Amino acid sequence: MTQFEASKVMAEADLLVSGPEVVAAISRVAREITEELKGSNPLVLCVMNGGLIFGGQLLTQLNFPLEVGYIHATRYGHETRGATLDWIVKPNAELQERTVLLLDDILDEGITLAAIAEYCRQQGASAVLMAALIEKLHLRKVTPGMHADFCGIEVGDRFLFGYGLDYKGYWRNAPGIYAVRGK
C-alpha cells in the first residue's frame, strides 16, 4: 500500500466513533476495571501493536498497584485476513498464580486473544481477563458467545481502523474509529 492509497482510504472512510467518544469509552472501561481488579495485584499485558494506544490511555486511569508488560502475537502482519498465529514476544513476567488482564484493540473472531489467554492459563495464571477497545458484533467468534470482560465500544461487522486498529499497516494513529468504505 502506498501513502497515496492510504490517504484515499481515509478520505473515503466512514467515521463510526469520534475521538471524544473513544476517550469517554476508555474512561468508562478504566472505572470498571478499577472496581473489579483494584485489590488483585494484576499483571496487565498489552497486546502489541494494536493494543498500544488503548493500553497507553487506559493504564494512566487505573489508580491501583499493578504490573505492566506486553505480548506480541499476530495473525495479520500487514494483511487484512488472519493466518497462523505468529508469536513474536511472549511475556517475560511470571504468570503463576497471577490475575492477568489482556488489553487489545479489538475482539473480532477472538482467535488471537483466545490463544494468548490459553497460553497465560498454561503458564499458571489464576485468572485471565480481556479488555478490548472494540468488540465486533457477529456470530463468528472462535468460541460461541465469547465476549471481552471489559469492552469500550461495540460495532457492526465492518473493516475498522483507527485508535490502534490498522488498515494494511496504516492509520493506527487515526483519532477515532473508522470503517473502510464498502467493507
Nearest C-alpha neighbor of 56 from the set 104, 120, 128: 104
Structure confidence at residue 73 (pLDDT): 87
User: What pLDDT is recorded for position 31?
Assistant: 98
> What pLDDT is recorded for position 140?
83
pLDDT of residue 81: 56
Percent of the chain with pLDDT over 90: 79
Q: Is residue 1 in a domain? A: no
Residue 121 included in any domain: yes
pLDDT, mean of residues 143-171: 94
**Pick from 124, 57, 79: nearest CA to 97:** 124
What is the predicted pLDDT for the residue at 74? 76
Provide the residue count of the chain: 183
pLDDT digits (tens, 9 = 90+) for 36-85: 999 999 999 999 999 999 999 999 999 999 999 999 987 665 555 555 77
pLDDT beyond 90 at 139: no
For the record, the C-alpha cell of 23 comes out as 476517550
Task: Place 130 in a pLDDT band, splitting at 50, 70 and 90.
Answer: very high
For residue 170, being part of any structural domain is answered with no
What's the whole-number average pLDDT of the chain? Answer: 92
Question: How many whole angstroms separate alpha carbon 182 and alpha carbon 103?
Answer: 28
DSSP 110: -
Q: Is residue 114 part of a domain?
A: yes
In a domain, 138, yes or no: yes
| Sign of the Cα pseudo-torsion (95, 99, 102, 107, in order) | positive
Range of the domain at 99: 19-156
- For the four alpha carbons of 168, 174, 57 and 128, in that order, the dihedral sign comes to negative
Q: Is the pLDDT of residue 182 over 90?
A: no
Is the pLDDT reported for residue 4 higher than 90? yes
What confidence category does residue 160 fall into, taking pLDDT thresholds of 50, 70 and 90?
very high
pLDDT score for 77? 54
Strands (E) in 49-159, as ranges, are: 67-74, 86-89, 99-107, 127-136, 150-155
Domains in the chain, number: 1
What pLDDT is stored for residue 78 in this prediction? 52
Domain membership of residue 166 (yes or no) is: no
Per-residue pLDDT, 125: 97
Output the pLDDT for position 168: 92
Tell me whether residue 97 is in a domain: yes
| Listed residue (148, 34, 27, 37) closest to 100, CA to CA | 37
Q: What CATH number is attached to the domain comprising 115? A: 3.40.50.2020
Q: Does residue 183 sit within a domain? A: no
